[in-house]
Structure 1
């Protein structure tokens, strides 16, 4: 950076705004599982208004190498921006092309147990996102500049970007969040400048992704999930360093979820205590709750009887 560090503040904040660039619609296409021999599938994807298309492949894409191919191009005759994919998952590399249309053709020579192809095409506008990312990544790499930045505001903006964007753009936003968090580690930081409680939406996303992408032998964990795992490991380290572990855990979890866990815990304690013939606060609480429910049920029954008598009298 060849300018006064203080001049980088508006540049950094503007870069964050660039990263908020709207993502257009997505289209996903995939081949049948265990596709037939001599298969031939040809089609195209168009996202009107897109300045560019980003093509991302599923982690399990695989075909018989060379014999079975997926050909992609921005022209119907496959002469412009041609990409050919075949073989194991390592060969299926995401790419980006200009324009709003993508043509693809899949051909196979023999029946296969491979998963075939699955890809998602995402439309983008002016690609200001990557411009903002490159600038901000450079800014956060210079310690003298970082000291001048309003890290709390930058943190808030990046979290918004991370929640709004998806795929590779979300991954890049997480990478920048990690850089911001690295600046908060002691002894480099005199105080914690960022609010870890704002990670709550990403914590929910992380839990959802963990449930829908359970680890399996021989499979690759999605890159965003790996990045979020690292993010929360560092967040926990920060909470430990700054002596706010309890506050951090409370901030991440919903009050309703905590109540459910506590209730289940008390229920377990009460059940064990009753089995041992021992009374405590847990057993007393559940006995009182049982009496309350019984009383409420009795009152409800009496109300129904009175209503029935009134109807008969009329």
Structure 2
């Protein structure tokens, strides 16, 4: 009997200790041999420590997930083209990815986008760099994450800087060529060759023929005024996209179409060789180029041979 009594006491004692420690929040498994009072004292701080770090993680995860799930809707404005939008918003995949994400809205020709068109910028799971930077609202609870965020942003800025410097240098590289192009005060609008001549026949033109010449010009090439004059219009012009018309001293008008950017406004005086905008593919265009006309009036349908006119003014083409 004494042996059986000794066998029962440890059982009831271990059971009571187990209940005492279980009431502290789950720390009992690491303290099977200490007393009930000790388990209560050690268990309370341990439970608090285990729960506290989980709260900031949940707070951080919610805004990040929300930012990554929502694409941005962009409304096309006059002068826009897909490559310009993709470059300005630093979209991965460039204009090709932007077109693929919005093919149903844009249609079969990626060059034909019109003001007011809604585009999705960044599909589900992709957030723009600016949004990712602004997303973590609870900074006090997530200091390590906030400190780590500027590193990739700085790397992106450093990677983008050389490209931006090269882009800024392009107009400067073309500017010196403007002076020697003309001995009589007129210059070519761009330095590229001609892709489509004047009066080429075709059903694609409403008049039945090409009313100007198309100069080869990559997206963003600086476009220059061919001679001194006054800007009579600068803005959106239907199938011509962004267009500038300049009146010259001899009463003739030069027209520059499909521009991606305008640098002058109506009523402004310009000089020969002055930068007036950037080439693009706005309006009814199959790709980046400069459509150029010489007219006897500021309106469509009064065209004349632009190459013959420029050569008569001393421009070198």
TM-score normalised by structure 2 residue count: 0.21
Relative contact order higher in (CA < 8 Å, ≥ 6 apart):
1
Larger Rg: 2
Higher helix share: 1
TM-score normalised by structure 1 residue count: 0.22
